[in-house]
A and B are shown apart, each in its own frame.
Chain A
Amino acid sequence: MFLNQFLLLAAALFCIGVYGVLVRKNGILVLMSIEIILNAVNINLVAFGSLTDDVAGEVFALFTIAVAAAEVGIGLAIVLLMYRNRRSIDFSEADLLKG
């Protein structure tokens, strides 16, 4: 197997995730797009790990999974708080910090 086939798949997934983050208004859908981006990174880490036959790639992928789980927990709590305060989870309406 070529290394590049995994890297190109990860790059395509990453770009789809970036498109989702830019184009979505709903907070939960933005978080889902971020999950796609993080998974693309994990594919890269594991692919390089098996290229060099090193266990470090898998260990780093496991750390990324743990951090992603923490990120989803905090992100959904923030979205929930936003819904409670504004009755809407539309990120394009959250512009309090806009100058």
Chain B
Amino acid sequence: MTALLAAISPDADIYVAQNVFFGLIAVVMLYSAYRVVTTINIVHAALWLVLVLAGVAAQFILLGAEFVAVTQVLVYIGAVVVLFLFGIMLTRASLGDDETVREEKHAMAAVVGVLLFSVMALALIDTWGDDRIVIDEPQRVQEVSDAIFSRYIIPFEAVSVLLLAALIGAIVVARKD
């Protein structure tokens, strides 16, 4: 809807192609996310998750954040989804028909989701009414790396220690002995 409005508005800073692709990708992402949380086949859920993650990467490219988009594809689609598939295989969590939706909680969870979305949508529309994103040129990788290795060097080191700790922790937790 907003994409259509932006496409027909006579204002400056309109990005017709970007808005059309935003709408297409957003529809695919929302449907895939819906399938991830409702499909009864776990492997299919992992494959729908790939579509959601690829859609997020495409949105990053629309926003001009190419380095984050590439990292998204490498880390999420390349590593995390494979990790999920290994987890499914190792737990043999009934690859076929698996009734995993809690019927009694179904209605309550749907109410929570819809209420949460309406509150957030109202707040967002109220606050960011018609702020526009103007993208002159994509963020260059050099700027990102300069920021990481100068201003954000301490969080960067902390994240690397966190990853190492998580790796060792995962091995210790899952080890058989």
Contact = CB atoms under 8 A, between A and B. Distances in A.
Interface of A: 1-9, 11-20, 22-29, 31-33, 35-36, 39, 42-43, 46-47, 49-51, 55-59, 61-63, 65-74, 76-81, 83-84, 89, 92
Contact of A24 (B37, B60, B72, B79): B37
28 contacts: A1-B18, A1-B135, A4-B125, A6-B22, A6-B133, A8-B121, A9-B30, A12-B30, A15-B116, A16-B30, A16-B36, A16-B113, A17-B37, A20-B37, A22-B108, A24-B101, A28-B93, A29-B37, A33-B37, A43-B56, A43-B59, A49-B139, A50-B139, A62-B71, A63-B156, A65-B75, A69-B75, A81-B173
Classify the interface of chain A: helix, strand, loop or mixed: helix
Contacts of B131: 2-4, 51
A72 B84 contact: yes
B169 A74 contact: yes
Interface residues of B, number: 89
A37 to B, nearest CB: 10
B24 interface: no
Contact of B112 (A18, A39, A57, A84): A18
B78 to A, nearest CB: 11
Nearest to A31: B84
Interface of B: 2-3, 5-6, 15, 18-19, 22, 26, 29-30, 33-34, 36-37, 42, 45-46, 49, 52-53, 56, 59-60, 62-65, 67-68, 71-72, 75-76, 79-80, 83-84, 86-88, 90-91, 93, 98, 100-102, 105-106, 108-110, 112-114, 116-117, 120-121, 124-125, 128-133, 135, 139, 143-144, 147-148, 152, 155-156, 159, 162-163, 165-167, 169-171, 173-174, 176
